[in-house]
Amino acid sequence: MREPLSIRATTYALLALFVFMVAVPLFWMVTTALKTNKDLYEDFTYLPRHPTLQHFVRVIERDGLLTNIWNSFAVASVTTAVTVVVSAFAAFSIVRYKYRGREWIGRFILFKYVLPTAMLFVSLYAIVVALGLGNTLKSLMLTYLSFTVPFCTWMLMGYFRSIPAELEEHAMVDGCTKIGALFRILLPLSAPGIVASAIFSFTLAWNEFLLALVFTSDQTTMTVPIKLSMMVVGDQYIWGQLMAGAVLATVPITILYFLGQRFVVQGLAAGSVKG
């Protein structure tokens, strides 16, 4: 059915407004990264007059951002690998096994998913220092599990619940073990959920700021967010490099996000909103 003209006009006007609102900061980030310093500070232009990649070259060569990108990548990959395995086991156990107390663990996992890291960072810092892990990437790989595992377990619990247990029961009648049924039946069937939880934990780890800021203090152990935020206070005229760094930090994660968007939206629906 066609909408009345007034409704359609309002819809498109609002849509244009929202698109503009979202586009302006993105435009500013990308154009800044491509502008010469002259275009940035002396003779303002909206569009770069002489597009240049010099800021990208400088942020990589002079500021050594590749080290930090590698750090972020290492932390996010290890965190994700451990998270997916541990959460899949935990969700499988809570959803498919019957023993006393599992509802309480399920509730606690949800409680932690909601509880913000800001509540815990002071004591986590004291613990990390006491373990001798201060200023290491290991401290991040370890502590990031405290939010990725509850989040992904909760999401996978939703996924596993949506798949009928009869399929696994049939397999077990045919001689498959319960754990075998997890690997042969449940995991392949919940592949979208697994992909979504991997994307989520990678994104959460890649973007994490507070713990990385508190735990790491060396150029060589900093992750990208910390490195870039340190550059703000250093030099005054570094916005070209900063925005080039921002683009470099954004592109991989955004590509990942959109490749997995279908899974992510499904995962959100299964895990958090619809329950």
Partner 1 sequence: MAIRHRSVAVALPAPARPARWPSARTRETLGGIGLLAPTVLLLLGLVLYPFFYAIWLAFSDKTVGSPGQFVGLRNFVYVLRWPQFSTAVWNTVVFTVSAVAIKLVLGMAVALVLNQQIRGRNFFRAFLLLPWAMPAFVVYLVWRWLYDPLSGLINYALIDLGLIASPIPFLSDRSTAMISVIVAHVWRNFPFYAISFLAGMQTISQELYDAAQVDGASRVQQFRHVTLPGLYHVIGVVVLLTTIWTANAFEPVYLLTGGGPSDATMVYTMLVYVMGMMNLRLGEAAAVSTLFLPLLIALVLAVTILLQRKANA
Task: Give, as ranges, the residues between 45 and 84 that touch partner 1 (CB under 8 A).
Answer: none
Q: How far apart are CA 23 and CA 18, in angstroms?
A: 8
Among 48, 73, 74, 102, binds partner 1 (CB under 8 A): 102
Residues 6+ apart with CB under 8 A from 267: 155, 159, 192, 193, 196, 197, 199, 200
User: Looking only at residues 133 through 172 of this chain, which bind partner 1 when binding is defined by CB under 8 A?
Assistant: 142-143, 145-146, 149-150, 153, 157-158, 161, 169, 172
Rounded to the nearest whole angstrom, what is the least distance from the CB of residue 245 to partner 1 in the complex? 9
Among 129, 183, 235, 259, binds partner 1 (CB under 8 A): 129
> Which tokens in the block code for residue 206?
């890649």
Nearest 10 degrees: CA dihedral of 266, 267, 272, 275?
Answer: 70
Rounded to the nearest whole angstrom, what is the least distance from the CB of residue 75 to partner 1 in the complex? 14
Q: How far is CA 239 from the centre of its chain?
A: 25
Q: Is 125 in the site for partner 1 (CB under 8 A)?
A: yes
Rounded to the nearest whole angstrom, what is the least distance from the CB of residue 53 to partner 1 in the complex? 19
CA of 83: how far to CAs of 25, 77, 150, 233, in Å? Answer: 33, 10, 9, 34
Residue (18 or 220) nearer to partner 1, CB: 18
Residue (60 or 214) nearer to partner 1, CB: 214
Rounded to the nearest whole angstrom, what is the least distance from the CB of residue 188 to partner 1 in the complex? 18
Among 179, 183, 235, 259, binds partner 1 (CB under 8 A): 179
Q: Is 21 in the site for partner 1 (CB under 8 A)?
A: yes
Rounded to the nearest whole angstrom, what is the least distance from the CB of residue 191 to partner 1 in the complex? 19
Q: How far apart are CA 165 and CA 182, in angstroms?
A: 10
What is the per-residue binding string for partner 1 in 234-253, x denoting contact by CB under 8 A? -----x--xx--x--xx--x
Among 59, 75, 84, 90, binds partner 1 (CB under 8 A): 90
Structural contact between residues 59 and 239, judged by C-beta atoms closer than 8 angstroms: no
Among 3, 9, 70, 191, binds partner 1 (CB under 8 A): 3
Q: Is 254 in the site for partner 1 (CB under 8 A)?
A: yes
Rounded to the nearest whole angstrom, what is the least distance from the CB of residue 27 to partner 1 in the complex? 8
Span of 37-45, 51-59, 60-68, 186-194 interacting with partner 1 by CB under 8 A: 37-45
Q: Is 107 in the site for partner 1 (CB under 8 A)?
A: yes
Among 99, 164, 218, 234, binds partner 1 (CB under 8 A): 99
Q: Is 109 in the site for partner 1 (CB under 8 A)?
A: yes
